[in-house]
Amino acid sequence: MGRIRRASTHDVSGVYRVCLKTGAAGGDATEEHENPDLLGHAYAGAYLAGEPKFALVAVDEHGVGGYAVGAPDTRTFESWLEQHWWPTLREQYPLTPEVENARTPDARLIRRFHRPSATRDGLLEEFPAHLHINLLERCRGGGMGRALIEELTGALRQHGCTGVHLGVAPENQSAIGFYRRLGFETLASRPDELVLGMRFV
C-alpha cells in the first residue's frame, strides 16, 4: 500500500504518465496518442502549477501510482489557465489548418488548448470546486481512491468551499460506482458526460 502526499514539480512526469495510462475512460490511452504529453497538458499539469495546495499524489515503491487534483474556485482557475497555462501551449501547438480538420485525439486536445470550454454558471453556485482522480491499475481497489478523495475534499472544505463537482465518461461505470459509494450525486447527465457533485454544507 502506498502513501499520499502533496505533489511537487518533481512529480510532473509521474502524474503525466498516470494521466495517459488512465485517459481512455479509465483505461490506457497510450495507443490513441502520438504525442504522450498532450493529455497531461490538458487535464493534469495545470493543477500542479496553479493549485499546488490541492494537488496530491499516491506513491508506492514503483513511483507515482495515482493523483487527485482540484481547484477550489473553478472560474478563478479558468482565468488562471487563460493567463498562465494556455498561452504557452498555444504557441507550442498552433492551430494550423491540419489541426483544425484532423479527427485524431491529439488534434482534438490541441483545439481544446485554443478553445477551452467554460463550466456552466448554474453548476458553480453550489459546486464551485472541481477535481480529477486517477490511479494506475496496481493502486486500485485497496482504499487509495477513497483516501485521496477524503484528503482532497477535506482540504477544499477547509478552504471554505461549499461543494465540488466532476465530470466522468458515462461508459466509465466502475468510476461512477466508486463516486456514488463516496456520496456523490448526479447533477447533470449528457450523452458524453455525467456530472456528479458533493455538497460540503
Ligand X SMILES: CC(C)(COP(=O)(O)OP(=O)(O)OC[C@H]1O[C@@H](n2cnc3c(N)ncnc32)[C@H](O)[C@@H]1OP(=O)(O)O)[C@@H](O)C(=O)NCCC(=O)NCCS
Footprint of ligand X (CB under 6 A): 22, 26, 133-135, 140-146, 168, 172, 174-175, 177-178, 181
Kindly report the three-state secondary structure assignment for every residue of 75-138. Answer: HHHHHHHHHHHHHHHHHHCCCCHHHHHCCCHHHHHHHHHHCCCCCCHHHHHHCCEEEEEEECHH
Minimum CB separation from ligand X for residue 65, in Å? 10
Nearer Cβ to ligand X (101/117):
117
Minimum CB separation from ligand X for residue 148, in Å? 7
Burial class (CB in 10 A: 0-12, 13-18, 19+), 18: buried
Determine contact, residues 66/18, Cβ cutoff 8 Å: yes
Nearer Cβ to ligand X (94/141):
141
Minimum CB separation from ligand X for residue 87, in Å? 27
Nearer Cβ to ligand X (162/172):
172
Nearer Cβ to ligand X (116/167):
167
Minimum CB separation from ligand X for residue 100, in Å? 28
